[in-house]
Structure 1
C-alpha cells in the first residue's frame, strides 16, 4: 500500500472527513473506542424513544404508565442508580402522580419514605423549585420539565456513565421530561373535565329530581284547586237555593195568600147574594168579578215564579261541575219514564259560563216539559251541535203539534195568556234571547215539531247577569228587593 507524496496536490474530489462520517472528534490515532461509545449513546437514545412510543399507546392506564416508562428510559440512558421525575409545588395541581422515583433495578417508588437521604433531598429541592442540586455531587443530572415556556418540574438522575453526559444525552432527557410534562398536563385537563362532568351530572340529577318534585307538587296543587273550586261552587249553589227559598216565602206565598183572600171575599159576596142577605145588583156582580180577576192574576204570577224556582231546585248538588252535555243528559233522564228520549252531541265541547250552560239546559227542560205534557208524543230527540261560531240545540218529537201552532202560542204568551198558563215557550225564548240567540219551530223528521235554539259564539260581551254569574262575580249571593225587605 502506497501513499501520495506530501506535496502532491493533484486535483480531484474532496475526501470525506472521518469526523463527518462517525460523529466522533478525537486527536488520537484510533477512532474506534470513541466511535463505539457514540454508537452506544445513540442506541440508548433509540431505545428510550422506542420505550416512550410504547408508553404513548397505553392510554387506558392514564399518565402513570407513561411516566414510569419515561423514568425507566431516562435511567437506562444514564445508567442511573436513581432517577427522579417530579412536579414543582403549585404547578399542575390537579395532575397525578406528583412524582416517581426509579432505582437501578427499575423498581418504581411513589412514596419518599423508603428513599435514601440524598434522593429525598434532591426530590425535595425539585418540588420546592430550587434551581440547583440539593448537594455537591457532580453525578446528578437535572433537566427541566417545560410546558408553554415555563418550568413545571424536573427530571433528575444520578448517572453511572464513565464520562459526563454530552449535549446529545441532555437533549434526549429534555425530550423525555417534556413528554412527561405534556402527559401530566393532559391528565390534569382530563381530571378537571371529569370533575366538571360529574358535577354537571350531579346537578342534572338534582334538577331532574327537583322537576319531578315540582311536577308532583303542581299536580297536588291543581287537585286542591279543583276541590276548592267545587267546594266554592257548591257553597254558591247552596246560597242560591236559600235565596230562592226566601223568595218563595216572601213572594209566592204572599201571592197565593192574597189570591186566597180575594177568592174568600168573592165567595162571601156570592153567599150573601144567595141567602138574600144582600140584594143582587150589577154593581155587586162587578165587584165579585173584580175579586176573581185579581185572584186569577195573583195565581198566574205565583205559578210562573214557582215553575222557575222548581226547575232550579229539582236537581241535587253534584260532586263535579256539570258541562252542558251532562246537564242535558240529566234533563233527558228526568223525562225518560214518560218518553223514549235520545241525546246526541256533535263537535268539541266549548266551556261556557255556568249561567249560560244552565240557561240553555233550562230552556231544553221547558221544551221537554211541553213535549211530555201537551204534544201527546212517545218519542223525543235532543241534539247538541258545537260549531265554530254557534251552538245549536234542538228538541224534536213525534207528537201532534205543528210549527204554526207553536208560533201562534208564543205570540199569545208574549202578550200574556188570558188563562194564566202556558208560559213555557215564552220562558224558552227569554232565556235564549238573553244569551244573544234565537228560537225557531220546524217540522221534525219524527213527524212532530222541532224546537231549534241557536246561541252565537263567543257569547255577548255584556250578557244579562244571571243568578250564578252574579254569585261568581261578587263571591256572595246577589241582593234582591225581596232580600232587602226580608
Structure 2
C-alpha cells in the first residue's frame, strides 16, 4: 500500500511554503522499499547525537589537553561512517608546536600516531595533508575516503579523513556532522597550542623573574660590599691622617719641648750645686727652696709630656673610627689621665668629609692640649653641635686662662710680631677659615676659656677636596 504524500500548503503572495514531512525525515517516499533507508538514517542520526554528547563531555575537561577530545572525534567519525580507518592530521606549517602531528584509528579500534602502523592509503592521506594538498570543502577522494578540511579563521590547518567500508552513500547530514567534528578538532588543537604557548611564556616569565630577583639580590650584596669598602677606605684614610699627625706631634714634643724641659732641669741642677757652697746660708736656703720647686715643676712637666707622647704613640682602643664623634672621643680619651674631659654631641651626625672632620679633630686636640698645659683647669667640655646650616665645635674649661690675652696673641701671630708661642691658636683659626668657617675665643660659663670653630655645612665631596 502506497503512502499518499500530503498536499503542500498553498503559497500566498510569493511566500515560501512550509517544509513537508519528506524534507524533515529525509525519506522521499512512503513505499516499503524505502523504509530501510529511513531506518539507517534514523540510526545514523541517533549515533551522531550520542557522539556529540560524548564529545561535549570531553569538552568540559580541557585540563587533560586536546588529545582525549581528538581521539573521541576520530572514533565518532569512524563509527558514524562505519569506517575502515579515520584520522586527523595537520599541515606541515600549522601549529608547529603541536605533537603528535596526526592521530589515526585503525580497523581494530586502536589509536595510532606512527606512520608504520597504518595502512598505505591512510599513510598517503597523511602525507598529502602534510604537504598542504587540501580541498576547500568536504569531498570524497579517488580511494573513496571522505576528506573534510579543518578550518581556523578561514584557513585550512589540516583535515579529518574517514575511509568507510565499501560504497556508502553520503548525505548532507553526514557531511554536516563531519564538518562539526573537523571544526571541533581545529578549535581544540588551536586552544591546546595557545595553552602550551601560554605555559611556556609563563615559565619563561617565572624564569626571568627569578633571574631578575637574583640579579637584584646580587646587586644588593655588591652595593653592601661597596658601602663596606668605602667605609673601610674612609676609616683607613682617617686613621692614616691621625697617625701622621700623632707622629708629627710626638716627634715635635720629643725634639723640642721635652728636650728643652730636660735641659732646663739640668741647668737648674748645676745652679743648685754651684750655689750651695759659697752663698749666705739664708739666701742659699731660699735659693735652694726655689730651685727645688723649679726642679719639681720641670719633673712634673716632663712626666706630663712623656704621658702625652705615650698616648700619641699608643695604639688606639677603637679599631674603626668612622665618624667625627668617634674621632673626638678618641682625642678626649688621650687627655683623661690628667684632665676630666666630657664629650657632648647634639643633633644627628652627618658625614662632613675627611678633610673637615680631621681639621675639627685636630682643633679639639690642640684646644685640650692647651687646657692641659697652660691653664690650671680640672675639667673640660668638648661640645659638638650639628645645626641645619653649620657644625659647631666648642671646647671649654674651668681654668685660669685669659680670653682677651689669647685673642691678642692670635692677632700678633697673624701679623708676625708674636714670640712664636701659642701657634696652636693660630692653627685652629686657619683650619676653620680654610673650611669657610669662623674661629672665636671667649670666656666660658665655667670661668675658663671657650674656643669655638663654626663650619658651614657643605657636601662631603666638596669638603673632601678642600
Report the TM-score, using the length of structure 2 for normalisation. Answer: 0.70
In structure 1, what is the equivalent of residue 146 of structure 2? 141
Query: Deviation of residue 408 (structure 1)?
Result: 3.8
Query: Deviation of residue 53 (structure 1)?
Result: 0.7
Q: What is the alpha-carbon distance in structure 2 between the residues aligned to residue 56 and residue 202 of structure 1?
A: 32
Q: 1:148 to 1:424 in 2, by over 3 A?
A: closer
8 Å contact 2:134–2:156 — kept in the other structure? Answer: no
28-37 or 414-423: which moved more?
Answer: 414-423
Query: Deviation of residue 368 (structure 1)?
Result: 2.2
Please give the residue correspondences for 1:350-369 in structure 2 after superposition, counting only pairs within 5 Å: 350-369=350-369
Q: What is the alpha-carbon distance in structure 2 between the residues aligned to residue 460 and residue 160 of structure 1?
A: 94
8 Å contact 1:89–1:128 — kept in the other structure? Answer: yes
Q: What is the alpha-carbon distance in structure 1 between the residues aligned to residue 155 and residue 321 of structure 2?
A: 77
Q: 1:230 to 1:179 in 2, by over 3 A?
A: same
Q: What is the alpha-carbon distance in structure 1 between the residues aligned to residue 166 and residue 449 of structure 2?
A: 119
Query: Deviation of residue 64 (structure 1)?
Result: 0.2
In structure 2, what is the equivalent of residue 477 of structure 1? none
Query: Deviation of residue 341 (structure 1)?
Result: 1.7
8 Å contact 1:410–1:426 — kept in the other structure? Answer: no
In structure 2, what is the equivalent of residue 406 of structure 1? 403
2:81 matched to 1:70?
Answer: no
Q: What is the alpha-carbon distance in structure 1 between the residues aligned to residue 125 and residue 354 of structure 2?
A: 91
Please give the residue correspondences for 1:267-286 in structure 2 after superposition, counting only pairs within 5 Å: none
In structure 1, what is the equivalent of residue 347 of structure 2? 347
Query: Deviation of residue 361 (structure 1)?
Result: 2.5
Query: Deviation of residue 323 (structure 1)?
Result: 3.3
Please give the residue correspondences for 1:127-276 in structure 2 after superposition, counting only pairs within 5 Å: 127-131=130-134, 136-138=142-144, 140-160=145-165, 163-217=168-222, 219-220=224-225
User: Aligned to 1:81, what secondary structure does the other structure show?
Assistant: strand
Q: 1:388 to 1:440 in 2, by over 3 A?
A: same
In structure 1, what is the equivalent of residue 51 of structure 2? 48
Query: Deviation of residue 244 (structure 1)?
Result: 8.7
User: Aligned to 1:129, what secondary structure does the other structure show?
Assistant: coil
How many pairs are equivalent? 399
Please give the residue correspondences for 1:449-460 in structure 2 after superposition, counting only pairs within 5 Å: 449=448, 451-458=450-457
Q: 1:21 to 1:121 in 2, by over 3 A?
A: closer
Q: Deviations over 1:90-118 (max 9, x none)?
A: 22211122111113553212223232333
Please give the residue correspondences for 1:287-366 in structure 2 after superposition, counting only pairs within 5 Å: 314=312, 320=320, 323-366=323-366
Query: Deviation of residue 134 (structure 1)?
Result: 11
In structure 1, what is the equivalent of residue 120 of structure 2? 117
In structure 1, what is the equivalent of residue 390 of structure 2? 390
Query: Deviation of residue 169 (structure 1)?
Result: 0.2
423-432 or 342-351: which moved more?
Answer: 423-432
Query: Deviation of residue 233 (structure 1)?
Result: 6.6
Report the TM-score, using the length of structure 1 for normalisation. Answer: 0.67
User: Aligned to 1:176, what secondary structure does the other structure show?
Assistant: helix
Contiguous gaps of at least 5 residues in structure 1: 1-10, 261-306, 474-486
In structure 2, what is the equivalent of residue 108 of structure 1? 111
Q: 1:124 to 1:53 in 2, by over 3 A?
A: same
Query: Deviation of residue 189 (structure 1)?
Result: 2.1
Q: What is the alpha-carbon distance in structure 2 between the residues aligned to residue 432 and residue 145 of structure 1?
A: 90
Specify which structure has the bigger relative contact order, considering alpha-carbon pairs within 8 angstroms and separated by 6 or more residues.
1
Query: Deviation of residue 170 (structure 1)?
Result: 0.7
**Residue 86 of structure 1, aligned match among 85, 89, 92:** 89
Q: What is the alpha-carbon distance in structure 2 between the residues aligned to residue 364 and residue 234 of structure 1?
A: 16
In structure 2, what is the equivalent of residue 39 of structure 1? 42
Q: What is the alpha-carbon distance in structure 1 between the residues aligned to residue 189 and residue 419 of structure 2?
A: 108
Q: 1:205 to 1:190 in 2, by over 3 A?
A: same
8 Å contact 2:66–2:189 — kept in the other structure? Answer: yes
Q: What is the alpha-carbon distance in structure 1 between the residues aligned to residue 19 and residue 399 of structure 2?
A: 133
Q: What is the alpha-carbon distance in structure 2 between the residues aligned to residue 443 and residue 238 of structure 1?
A: 31
Query: Deviation of residue 68 (structure 1)?
Result: 0.6
Query: Deviation of residue 214 (structure 1)?
Result: 4.8
Q: What is the alpha-carbon distance in structure 1 between the residues aligned to residue 440 and residue 313 of structure 2?
A: 25
8 Å contact 2:102–2:113 — kept in the other structure? Answer: yes
8 Å contact 2:381–2:395 — kept in the other structure? Answer: yes
8 Å contact 1:95–1:184 — kept in the other structure? Answer: yes
In structure 2, what is the equivalent of residue 415 of structure 1? 412
Q: Deviations over 1:174-220 (max 9, x none)?
A: 11011101111122222223333333433444444444445545555
Q: What is the alpha-carbon distance in structure 1 between the residues aligned to residue 377 and residue 247 of structure 2?
A: 36
